[in-house]
Chains A and B, each alone.
Chain A
Amino acid sequence: MKQVLIAGIGNVLLGDDGVGPYVARLLSSSYSFEPGVEVEDLGTPALDLIDHITGLDALILIDSVDDGLPGGTITLYSKDDIVRHGPPVRMDPHSPALTESLLAAEFVGTAPKEVLLIGISGSRYDAGCQLSAPVQAAVAQVVDHVLIELDRLDLSYEPAQNKQSEIWWDDAPVASLAVS
């Protein structure tokens, strides 16, 4: 059985930074996945991410990215893209730790065999629990990218019946996903 994690990362209190957790919870409530495939809203795990990715066959990350592109643009990144620049030297040892976590897992030999980061360019990161309109509009397409990756990995899933959405932080009604 393949061990696969689909992880949404980001701060749900800071606008578009919450898109990862949002999509993770939407996936959880819209689909059932074959055993071994977990979907998690990991929030802002910093270096704790190492524990979550240790020993996986595949990791699919959903996160907001700063690549200067318009809000809602989706870009796919490989593991090499993520670790290319090495870990930052920083004043604050707790800053976001995607690069460090992957490099640390790689160093001890437990990094996931396959890594895909589905990056969504954000347009606002101020305090607030809702996604901006362009990012909200991209959500369905982000879900498609996750499913395409699952197809590529030859993993099965099916639409779930009657699961409740658990996006508790969003005051706006959560758009249900038209699943096929």
Chain B
Amino acid sequence: MAKRITIDPITRIEGHLRVDVQVDNGRVSDAWASCTMWRGIEKILEGRDPREAWLFTQRFCGVCTTVHAMASVRAVEDALKLEIPANAQYIRNLVLINHGLHDHIVHFYHLSALDWVDVLQIPKADPAKTSSLAESLSPWTRNSRNEMKAAQDKVKAVAASGQLGIFANGYWGHPAMHLSPEVNLLAFSHYLQALEYQRKSNQVVGMLGGKTPHIQNLTVGGVSNAINLDSQAVLGMERLEQMKVLMDEVATFVQQVYLPDACAISAMYADWFGIGSGVKNYLAVPELPIDARATQFDLPGGYIPGGDVSSVRAFHSHADDQFRQSVLEDVTHSYYAGKTRLHPWKGETVPEYTDWQADKKYTWVKAPRFENKPAQVGPLAQVLVGYAQGHPLTRKWTDAALDRISTVAGRKIGVAQLHSTMGRHAARAIRACMLAELGQKHWQLLVDNIAKGDLSIHNPPSFPSGTIQGVGTHEAPRGTLSHWVVVDGGKIKNYQAVVPSTWNASPRDIAGAHGPYEASLLDSPIANPELPLEVLRTIHSFDPCMACACHTFDPTGKQIAKVKVL
């Protein structure tokens, strides 16, 4: 018999992701993703000075601050056809890389690992066995028995007190959890260590950006980091060396801990390489330009239609016409009035709220479409797009990950299995390893360029009297981000942000095609409709980010997600 489940985190402002699934005989037969709050924040930008837009856009969200700042300055620079100095590219890239590493580490260990790791099994683990297991997977130096014992003792103390604190409200003991106590302990000890290492990445962002979470060093035309190798007050060799030490430590953590953990855990849940694929059109924009004019990139972009990696089409620049001509936003099922499909430069944001109606309008999220089709964005898209193009760094880390996974799983897990819930986790770990390596490269590019005597950081913008338009793209931790700006007489006339979670959380479109979250849930198993852990696993694998718009604290604690079975 069909059951409808609604998972809806309740807050005062009701501004969060809601998912409805229909379950037939233990499987999802249909799904709806919706966002329950109208943000409309872009309207705030109308009439403002385009040079200040990035200050506002990085307040869109608390987690993705840096990325909205970056896309915004790039959009205005694109409209002005303004190049930025090489130093500015490298400094921006180092901010993006370290922000991305921080974000991926936090996502895996602190935001999604506990979908798979059962904390309450940890007291049963043997720390010595856990340590041997860890040492068989990695040369990491902090896998000793004592390290494992210390992590276990923390959990035992919490469990004995009956106050689970941060671990209250988990789906502990759920039948879909099946790691051994030792693997649970191993992952958990690294959860604790990851708190230290994500912080190091954030420190690098802060050293370049002035502060986190909202950086201060951007400017349309470059960056505001004055460079003097001999100075301690501005960006000099001493600070660059401090950054390098932190980046090296994080690189070791990512390559010796995060990747082995993600591979081992995913291999132990290998059936999840066959669940959660959904939309197999993949979209990624090129990122990390390695020259001032942004003609070459260290992370490839492109589009893969229908999961067929052999038909990948590359995007060669930020200004790629395929990209800028092919994006439309559809509002057939979104709470907006006006034309069904519009290009972002012509985009409208006129609210037309109705109730949640399964076959009509049901979300505040628009439905971005690429060549009229839904597209999945995120680390998986980026890794597949790079792999399909034979990009050496992508191949190196993807092959290394698939080898590890196949060894632990005892069967071959290949690129074809990455179209899945676990594939998204594996791809994020692969991307983190690539970012860690590229961080070291871009640090060297910056130091070498400064050593040549180039201290330039900024090309001043000047605005023409007529109308200009631009797009700023950024391959963010959650995927393709694009800001579309129209400037008239030096003032912003229209501003639209097409964010990664809009691509992935998009509703159906005029053709009835599901968005990526929705499609990924179809046919998923559901062991217990009251505790729909499987839905959370697949949705979390995308690393959704829609909710940090409003931070109002709710002292009544009613933020707890409501699961309603109809």
Interface residues of A (CB under 8 A from B): 9-14, 17, 20, 40-48, 50-51, 54, 63-67, 75, 77, 81-96, 98-100, 103-104, 106-108, 117, 119, 122, 125-129, 168-169
Given the known inter-chain contacts A11-B550, A43-B65, A127-B44, please indicate yes or no for A100 contacting B39, CB distance below 8 A.
Answer: no
A86 and B164 contact, CB distance less than 8 A: yes
B59 and A82 contact, CB distance less than 8 A: no
Q: In angstroms, how far is the closest chain B Cβ from the Cβ of A103?
A: 4
The 3 A-B pairs of least Cβ separation, nearest first, read A85-B557, A44-B62, A86-B168
B561 adjacent to chain A (CB < 8 Å): yes
Enumerate 21 A-B pairs (CB-CB under 8 Å) in ascending A order. A44-B62, A44-B551, A47-B63, A48-B212, A86-B165, A89-B536, A89-B561, A90-B9, A90-B16, A91-B16, A91-B18, A91-B539, A91-B544, A92-B545, A93-B107, A94-B62, A94-B544, A96-B547, A96-B551, A96-B553, A104-B195
A95 and B168 contact, CB distance less than 8 A: no
Q: How many residues of B contact A (CB 8 A)?
A: 69
Q: Which residues of B contact A127 (CB under 8 A)?
A: 39-41, 43-44
A13 and B44 contact, CB distance less than 8 A: yes
B9 and A91 contact, CB distance less than 8 A: yes
Given the known inter-chain contacts A43-B65, A91-B18, A94-B62, please indicate yes or no for A168 contacting B55, CB distance below 8 A.
Answer: yes
Q: Mark B151-183, 1 if CB is under 8 A from A, else 0.
A: 000100010000011111111000000000000
Pick the contact of A88: B41, B540, B555, B559 (CB < 8 A). B559
A108 and B195 contact, CB distance less than 8 A: yes
Q: Which residues of B contact A88 (CB under 8 A)?
A: 9, 169, 557, 559-561
B106 adjacent to chain A (CB < 8 Å): yes
Interface residues of B (CB under 8 A from A): 7-9, 11-13, 16-19, 39-41, 43-44, 52, 55-56, 59-63, 65, 106-107, 110-112, 154, 158, 164-171, 192, 195, 199, 202, 211-214, 536, 539-540, 543-561
A77 and B169 contact, CB distance less than 8 A: no
User: Who on chain A is nearest to B544 by CB?
Assistant: A92
B552 and A106 contact, CB distance less than 8 A: no
A14 and B550 contact, CB distance less than 8 A: yes
Distance A173 CA – B513 CA, assembled complex (angstroms): 48
Given the known inter-chain contacts A13-B60, A100-B166, please indicate yes or no for A63 contacting B552, CB distance below 8 A.
Answer: yes
A103 and B165 contact, CB distance less than 8 A: yes
Q: A88-B169, A92-B17 are in contact. List 16 more A-B contacts (CB 8 A).
A: A12-B59, A17-B550, A17-B551, A17-B552, A48-B212, A64-B553, A65-B552, A67-B555, A77-B553, A88-B560, A91-B16, A96-B553, A108-B195, A126-B40, A127-B39, A128-B44
B555 and A44 contact, CB distance less than 8 A: no
Distance A107 CA – B44 CA, assembled complex (angstroms): 40
